[in-house]
Chain A
Amino acid sequence: RKEVEQDPGPFNVPEGATVAFNCTYSNSASQSFFWYRQDCRKEPKLLMSVYSSGNEDGRFTAQLNRASQYISLLIRDSKLSDSATYLCVVTPNNNDMRFGAGTRLTVKP
């Protein structure tokens, strides 16, 4: 079993749609959780941290369920500029990050 597993995608949605990505992780002792965004042939960039209480940043909402070892990302009112690969990230300790393979999103006009 992979340490971090994500929806395989790709997701192709129209502008204005709501889309949700899911992620599961295998190490129950994992301490921190993040969503990163990666544009084609660019470096990953932090989108948001994920907290147990859930957190929201504009059109983006992240949720963490430690009992189920499950993380989600919800994007509302999708924009063309949201097209990217979304990477689920888990830190098993305070040092290294473990990435999922990523889910590719394409938002179409």
Chain B
Amino acid sequence: DTAVSQTPKYLVTQMGNDKSIKCEQNLGHDTMYWYKQDSKKFLKIMFSYNNKELIINETVPNRFSPKSPDKAHLNLHINSLELGDSAVYFCASSQANNWGAADYGYTFGSGTRLTVV
């Protein structure tokens, strides 16, 4: 039983294309996140969703848009892909406390390696 699953695992696409990465969690967590890990392993938070509402929107290009059809899913849609978007994208989930703080450990998916050619 995979707790946080994301698909696809690998994605190779041409510049200018639009693509989506899907994420699902079966942990009943309230908050889901997207992170980007670059080639130097730097891990940067992109978005988080709490109860279907975007609560964090870090300074990422508006070509990236998170979409959450329900509490268990947070998909990442990317328009007009660029070479610099090549990275590994991780989905994660967490049970935030009453004040929304990250007071519990995150559960991460296994990542989607996106390569833009």
Partners in one complex: no
Residues of B within 8 A of A (CB): none
Residues of A within 8 A of B (CB): none
